[in-house]
Chain A
Amino acid sequence: MSVTPADATTETPTLSGAEIVLRALKEQGVEVIFGYPGGAVLPLYDAIFQQNAIRHILVRHEQAAVHAAEGYARSTGKVGCVLVTSGPGATNAVTGLVDALMDSIPVVCLTGQVPTHLIGNDAFQEADTTGITRPATKHNYLVKRVEDLARTVHEAFYVARAGRPGPVVIDLPKDILIGKGPYTGAPREEHRSYRPQTVPDAGAIREAVAMLKRAARPIAYTGGGVINAGPEASALLAEFIHLTGIPCTNTLMGLGAFPGSDPQFLGMLGMHGTYEANLAMHGCDVMLNVGARFDDRVTGRLDAFAPNSKKIHADIDPSSINKNVKVDVSIVGDAAEVLRALIAAWKADDTQQDRQALSAWWRQIDAWRARDSLRFNQQGTIIKPQYAVRRLYELCRETGRDTFIATEVGQHQMWAAQYFRFEKPNHWMTSGGLGTMGYGLPAAMGVQIAHPDALSIDIAGEASILMNIQEMATLAQYRLPVKVFILNNQYMGMVRQWQELLHGSRYSESYSEALPDFVRLAEAFHGTGLRATCVEELDGVIRRMLETPGPVIADICVDQKENCFPMIPSGAAHNEMILGSGNPDDPVMIIDEETVLV
């Protein structure tokens, strides 16, 4: 952002670079930093030691620092902040940065760097951090002059949150943190080059409304963009869906934007989406996409995706439009602004909706719904993972507490998405785009820091949880009462499922030998460990987990053979879905003939 000396609030150069950074963070509203110290960032840690405005949370691995900042950001709508050292500190953070990039989570990550005169000399703990993180971030900076420090921090926060949010790295050489320089406040003028369009084009909005009003089989498909646009966008989405009477489905990242209990909600769509959501997408004649990106896990085979439909795509990132799927109307703008404009244009347009066609469409959808694609059979004493998630949901609701769910990646993640119902935005943290095992525990930790009195639960698998298990120590240190709910089937379940369905049941390397005793593991980390091995124990364990004040690991031993259905095999179309019959040995391939008709 352009700061001319005339309007910048320059002060006498009495601050060290480290002090400038902290002051700029404070001005940007940062209350918490997730980080891990090291040689190159010692001046910053020294400055942190001498102040109380910003709290530092010491994680046990830099990847976890970024995921914690993501959980913090996603559950608050603020920018998450991370501080790591040079070299391995920065490279360890890369997975978290790419995760935040793929899921559009605003994070600013400060990385230490060797002193400027050593850059390029292969110094101890030197890495080309800006080079490594260039494709891993929305933008990155290497600060080479202490005079640029404050301006760069302010700009980084602007870039992280403006337009489509994302991670930003600021690489800070040690001599820049020690050197003295002026502090400049956040600039008031526009950024020189980065000014994303937030207000949609009125003509495109009118065109979209005209299309939707004339639709016989409309559907709204919304994603994480609605969540990123703030709670107001979710409220406007509900208003628009109710105003128009059309069905609504959410992507994995978009869950919570539309109330899960609303009769117009079809559930999640995509590879493990509901039968009704996917068939309604396949059979629709007009599709309204707000803040989703036609991801391959959502579209399935592209040439068979919603084949007879006109498509409207609203996104704040113009590069998301016409990337995978060619659309008929493109709208660039912030989801809240787009929905507000759609509501106004809908009311202003005199065209009568074809209510008769819409009722016929709903009758068709209700017929699909009647197949009850999330049905499962909880028979016998072995716990079905779906049942465990459903009971967790019901018992959480009984507590009446504000509940946040994070997940790792795999079958348990999909079951959580299917069986936990979200009524509000910002309560669901999951790694959608990158699919990062090890995301959930640190994300739940970041959530708990932001919402100390809420219930923060990580629904995990026994394989994923081991990828960032060291964060149990962080939970203990800060007395964070995060609950880890492990659906333990002793397999990398989703790998096992694909091997069963696509690789002749050759379970190559997907069985976990020598798992730790999770109860004793929890105890070793100063927490509480619980275990349920049969269905009779399940409710008791969940209740105890929810009542226990500190961190808890609940090891839920579930059916090892259970598969996650419905499933659209990779590369198949929405109407080529495998449904569970309630019997895991007998999946049913459905090629729905009705959809050919609609």
Chain B
Amino acid sequence: MPGNDKSGFRTATIGVLVENEAGILARVVGLFSGRGYNIDSLTVAPVNEDRRLSRITVVTSGTEMVIEQIKAQLDRLVPVHKVADLTQDGPHVAREMALIKVGGKGEARMEALRLADAFRARVVDATNESFVFEMTGSGEKLDAFIALMRPIGLIEVSRTGVAAISRGTGRLQG
């Protein structure tokens, strides 16, 4: 199982299709905090034509029993259409976007640009003393790039959290 470690904990990327209604995010977040589950990241946005449905991607971790509980608890919320454990159900693509602001002059500046190029980060803002890089990829890739920027002059980071989708023709539907 991907993300499984020795203590029996694993990471799960869970896709949740919900009615796009007031309070739905509070319901999901309240469920996690009220029952003591972890949220590593959470993203949400409307996904269908008439904006009636939203898709939440939540990355969580716990023992297999806890992750099964999380899925069952999410599934019994009234506005939830469908819950899928993307980590468990098969191959999937998970991506996160980050905006990374790096300061510096001279050689540090050049080094930041070279690394950005190697990581395929785009420059979306530049001043004489700073860059803002936009970068998309797995969480690990973002972590690696941010770690490299830290000694060069990392100023701040804004990350979206993970969006994920299964590979192939299957889809999450209620």
Contacts and interface: CB of A to CB of B under 8 A. Distances in A.
A-B complex is real: yes
Interface string A271-301: 0000000000000000000000000000000
A135 interface: yes
A319 B76 contact: yes
B69 A193 contact: no
Contact of A192 (B73, B75, B77, B174): B174
Nearest to A131: B26
B65 A326 contact: yes
Contacts of A196: 76
A164 B34 CA distance: 20
A505 interface: no
A172 to B, nearest CB: 15
B69 A323 contact: yes
B79 A193 contact: yes
Contacts of B73: 319
Contacts of B75: 318-319
A196 B79 CA distance: 12
B27 interface: yes
Interface in B156-174: 174
Contacts of A140: 23
A192 B79 CA distance: 8
Interface residues of B, number: 21
A134 B30 contact: yes
Number of chain A interface residues as a range: 20 to 34
A353 interface: no
A161 interface: no
Contacts of B23: 130-131, 134, 140, 142
Contacts, number: 47
Contacts of A163: 76
A376 to B, nearest CB: 41
Contacts of A318: 72, 75-76
Interface string A130-143: 11001100111010
A319 B19 contact: no
Interface string B131-148: 000000000000000000
B78 interface: yes
B80 A193 contact: yes
A322 interface: yes
A142 B22 CA distance: 9
A135 B30 contact: yes
A299 to B, nearest CB: 15
Contacts of A131: 23, 26
Interface string B75-111: 1111111000000000000000000000000000000
B68 A322 contact: yes
A159 interface: yes
Contacts of A139: 77-78
Interface in B15-53: 18-19, 22-23, 26-27, 30, 34
A223 to B, nearest CB: 18
Nearest to A196: B76
B81 A193 contact: yes
Contacts of B26: 131, 134
Contacts of B81: 192-193
A4 to B, nearest CB: 13
A134 B27 contact: yes
A319 B69 contact: yes
B69 A322 contact: yes
Contacts of B19: 192-193
A193 B27 contact: no
A135 B23 CA distance: 12
Contact of A322 (B30, B34, B65, B174): B65
A321 B65 CA distance: 10
A317 B81 CA distance: 16
Nearest to B80: A193
A134 B34 CA distance: 11
Contacts of A134: 23, 26-27, 30
Contacts of B80: 193
A318 B68 CA distance: 10
Nearest to A162: B78
Nearest to A138: B78
Interface in A311-359: 317-319, 321-323, 326
Contacts of A317: 76
Interface string A452-490: 000000000000000000000000000000000000000
Given A317-B76, A322-B68, A135 B174 contact: no
Contacts of B34: 135
B78 A193 contact: yes
Contacts of A130: 23
A138 B78 CA distance: 8
Contacts of B30: 134-135
A134 B30 CA distance: 8
Nearest to B23: A130
A194 B72 CA distance: 13
Nearest to A155: B78
Nearest to B79: A193
Interface string A158-173: 0100011000000000
A323 B81 CA distance: 22
Given A131-B26, A192-B19, A319 B78 contact: no
B112 to A, nearest CB: 44
Given A138-B78, A142-B23, 13 more contacts: A134-B27, A134-B30, A159-B78, A163-B76, A164-B76, A193-B78, A193-B79, A193-B174, A318-B72, A318-B76, A319-B72, A322-B65, A322-B68
6 contacts: A134-B26, A134-B30, A140-B23, A193-B19, A194-B79, A317-B76
- The 3 A-B pairs at the shortest CB distance, nearest first, are namely A319-B72, A139-B78, A193-B81
